Amino acid sequence: MSNSSLSCRNYTLFTNHSAVVHDNAHFATYVTVSSLACLFTIVVYLLLISLTFRRRFSLSGPRFLLAHQFLAEMLMVGVHWPLLLLQLLLARHGIFTSNTFCRHFYFFYEINMMAAIWGLCALSFNRFIAIVYPHLYPRFTRQRFLRAQILAFWILGIAVHLPFYLRTNGFVAEPPWTLCNYARQGSLMFDLAATLRVHLPLALAGVMHVVVLWQVAASRRHANRTTADAAALPPASGAYRKRVQLAKMLFANWIVHCVCFSTLPMLKSVLPLWMLQQTMTLPWLRGLLYSGYLSTPVLFYAMNRECREAFNSVLMCKPLPNAKPRASMSYALSRKEAPGTAISRSDAA
């Protein structure tokens, strides 16, 4: 019996001909909302990428990592998300996805997802060095080191998921919507892959964010205690303020990623029977998963004035605002600075 016939049979037995399957209103709402969110996100990602490469010194500091992060997450919402919606539409019309399609699609999907999450961890590490160990920061902004980081993420993704890809039944199409998934969930190899793909990078990023925020708070307390002697302490540099702003945006983005990426596996483990009964639950939870990628451009727009100005200029059909020249750093470099406020000439963020 073919995979399509098995999927169709499992689909019928799974749903038990329930009326939920034929709830066209819910399905149309899901597809419409997902498609509009996908198009909006792609536009904003293209804007963020153009801004990243527009500035002078755009490939120094965290901008190189930001460009990779935007590209990786744009692939998730620009390639993998439309394919997911296509799967749902085909299943809706009785054309079920085969295991062969899932074998190829899910392999590249998981590699892309792993590179995106580890890229977020790399950005957290970049802010950690910039704020906690600013004098060591130039060593971690060299092009060779940054490129090696990014290449390592993609190679790691291939190595982790290659065993599943080589198995003919490693990735399968699950009923009722024939969405691609792992064949043996709960196995040791599955748990190891999930840890390396999601849990470990998010945990490392969380620890580094906590240390960075603690360092920023300590620097502010030190500055408040020395306000009586203003001449002994120069004001915080513009580069340091940008570092702190980017760290805050990445911390907010990390929180959203944790919520979006942990909800689906948690419900599948805690409430499996409830998810089996609610046939529209899985697509909406998949939408929550992709909300983690939607959060990146939304947070950059909400927390970055330059991004808002550029986006508004595009909407008004005006040219993008020119980049402002870098402020002189000679004064800050020549004076003794508060802990965490030291800046380097190679940091343009």
pLDDT value at residue 233: 45
In a domain, 227, yes or no: yes
In a domain, 286, yes or no: yes
Task: Give the mean pLDDT of 169-175.
Answer: 85
Q: Is the pLDDT of residue 309 over 50?
A: yes
With tokens 């508004």, the residue in question is: 312
CATH code, domain carrying 181: 1.20.1070.10
pLDDT value at residue 151: 95
In a domain, 342, yes or no: no
pLDDT value at residue 61: 64
Q: Is the pLDDT of residue 349 over 50?
A: no
**73-131 confidence digits (pLDDT tens):** 899 888 988 988 888 888 888 887 888 889 999 999 999 999 999 999 999 999 899 88
| Residue 326 host element (H or E) | none
Q: Is the pLDDT of residue 342 over 80?
A: no
Strands 179-182 and 171-174 come out as antiparallel
Task: Give the mean pLDDT of 241-268.
Answer: 80
pLDDT value at residue 3: 45
pLDDT value at residue 107: 94
- Return the minimum-mean-pLDDT range out of 147-161, 288-302, 325-339: 325-339
For residues 209 and 232, what is the distance between their CA atoms, to the nearest angstrom? 29
Tokens of 65: 């990592």
pLDDT value at residue 72: 92
In a domain, 280, yes or no: yes
**CB-based contact 275:282 (threshold 8 Å):** yes
Dihedral sign of CA atoms 218, 202, 67, 286 in order: negative
**Crossing angle (nearest 10°) for helices 305-315 and 24-54:** 110
pLDDT value at residue 300: 77
Confidence of residue 320 (pLDDT cuts 50, 70, 90): low
pLDDT value at residue 272: 64
Which range has the top average pLDDT, 52-66, 172-186, 245-259, 310-324?
Answer: 245-259
Helices and strands (H and E) in the chain: how many:
13, 2
In a domain, 165, yes or no: yes
pLDDT value at residue 223: 66
With a pLDDT cut of 90, the percent of the chain lying above it is: 16
With tokens 């502010």, the residue in question is: 220
Task: Give the mean pLDDT of 214-222.
Answer: 80
Confidence of residue 162 (pLDDT cuts 50, 70, 90): very high
Q: How many domains does the chain have?
A: 1
Q: Is the pLDDT of residue 252 over 50?
A: yes
pLDDT value at residue 152: 96
Task: Give the mean pLDDT of 132-150.
Answer: 88
Q: Is the pLDDT of residue 198 over 80?
A: yes
**CB-based contact 282:179 (threshold 8 Å):** yes
Confidence of residue 231 (pLDDT cuts 50, 70, 90): very low
With a pLDDT cut of 70, the percent of the chain lying above it is: 70
- Please report, to the nearest 10 degrees, the dihedral formed by the alpha carbons of residues 233, 239, 240, 243 taken in order: 180
Confidence of residue 257 (pLDDT cuts 50, 70, 90): confident
Give the domain extent around 253: 3-334
In a domain, 340, yes or no: no
pLDDT value at residue 208: 93
Q: Which residue has the higher pLDDT, 35 or 273?
A: 35
Confidence of residue 161 (pLDDT cuts 50, 70, 90): very high
Q: Is the pLDDT of residue 65 over 80?
A: yes
In a domain, 346, yes or no: no
Residue 182 forms beta bridges with which residues?
171
pLDDT value at residue 156: 95
Q: Is the pLDDT of residue 13 over 70?
A: no
Across the chain, what does the average pLDDT equal?
75
In a domain, 75, yes or no: yes
pLDDT value at residue 313: 67
HSE at residue 324, side-chain half, CA atoms within 13 A, is: 9
**Residue 183 phi, psi dihedral angles, 5° rounding:** -75, -40
